[in-house]
Chains A and B, each alone.
Chain A
Amino acid sequence: DVKVTQSSRYLVKRTGEKVFLECVQDMDHENMFWYRQDPGLGLRLIYFSYDVKMKEKGDIPEGYSVSREKKERFSLILESASTNQTSMYLCASAQGAQNEKLFFGSGTQLSVL
């Protein structure tokens, strides 16, 4: 069974902390994505990566960075967490340029106090 695993289901952090959200996929997919999900706004793309050490900005990259040192792992980093980054974060992976099917993790609900 294919799997995208996000390291934490719930996280509570303080304003100004550096936060790491980890995502691992076991399908040898080339492409990986980080989305944030907010009520009434759907999913918005933060960053994506189509290869190891490659990354591209999505629609809302401000305040975030990413790291992809290995094919199976894609990390989202909040350099200095702020309250407006309280959200559900979803990681996804896909194979091929067309991304015809994304596989999603269960999400990390991050609260920044």
Chain B
Amino acid sequence: AQSVTQLGSHVSVSEGALVLLRCNYSSSVPPYLFWYVQYPNQGLQLLLKYTTGATLVKGINGFEAEFKKSETSFHLTKPSAHMSDAAEYFCAVSPSGGYNKLIFGAGTRLAVHP
């Protein structure tokens, strides 16, 4: 079975500061890992994904995440926060291979203040 834990339901950073959103997963098979973002009054959009290959993946809007198998983590980072990054972020996992469905974490709401 798969599960996702996002540490911190709310994170607040200053504009220009590092953004770090934490995600740990459990999976009985090699996972596919995803980060989605939800802006106010919108559906979710894919930020980035890890399936196979390079463990550091880059996404849209300057975000990146690193798959660390030994730590079962897939933390999301951005070097310099922008006001427009304020949103809710969801980590998700699915098993690789064959038909699958995504399991989402509880979400982390990111606030960016001037």
Q: How many residues of B contact A (CB 8 A)?
A: 26
B55 CB–A CB distance under 8 Å: no
CB contacts (< 8 Å) of B90 on chain A: these are 42-43
A99 to chain B, nearest CB (A): 6
Determine if B45 and A42 form an interchain contact, defined as CB atoms under 8 angstroms apart: no
How far is A97 from B101 in the complex, measured between Cα atoms in Å?
Answer: 9
Cβ-defined contact, A97 with B107, below 8 A: no
A41 to B94, CA, bound (A): 17
Task: Using CB atoms, name the residue of chain A closest to B98.
Answer: A97
Complex formed: what's the CA distance from A48 to B100 in Å?
11
Q: Residues 72-92 of chain A: 1 if any B CB is under 8 Å from the residue's CB, otherwise 0?
A: 000000000000000000101
Q: How far is the CB of A22 from chain B (nearest CB, A)?
A: 15
Interface contact A104-B44, CB-CB below 8 Å: yes
Tell whether B43 is near chain A: CB-to-CB under 8 Å: yes
> Within the assembled complex, what's the spacing in Å between the Cα atoms of A113 and B14?
40
Residue B80 lies at the interface, judged by CB distance under 8 Å to chain A: no
Task: Return chain A residues, CB-CB under 8 Å to B105.
Answer: 42
Contact B42 A42 (CB under 8 A): no
> What does DSSP make chain A's interface, helix, strand, loop or mixed?
loop
A4 at interface, CB cutoff 8 A = yes
Nearest A residue to B6 by beta-carbon distance? A42
Beta-carbon contacts of A19-40 to B below 8 Å, as 1s and 0s?
Answer: 0000000000000010100001
Q: Which residues of B contact A102 (CB under 8 A)?
A: 36, 44, 46, 102
Query: Quick check: A106 and B42 within 8 Å, CB to CB?
Result: yes
Query: Distance (Å) between the CB of B80 and the closest chain A CB?
Result: 26
| Structural contact, B101 and A58, CB atoms closer than 8 A | yes
Which residues of chain A in 1-60 are interfacial with respect to chain B, using CB atoms and an 8 Å cutoff?
A: 4, 33, 35, 40-45, 48, 50, 58
Contact B43 A98 (CB under 8 A): no
Q: Which A residues are within 8 Å of any B CB, using their own CB?
A: 4, 33, 35, 40-45, 48, 50, 58, 90, 92, 97-102, 104-107
Which residues of B are in contact with A by a Cβ distance under 8 Å? 4, 6, 9, 32, 36, 41-46, 49, 51, 90, 94, 96, 98-107
5 contacts between A and B (CB under 8 A): A35-B104, A98-B100, A99-B102, A102-B36, A107-B42
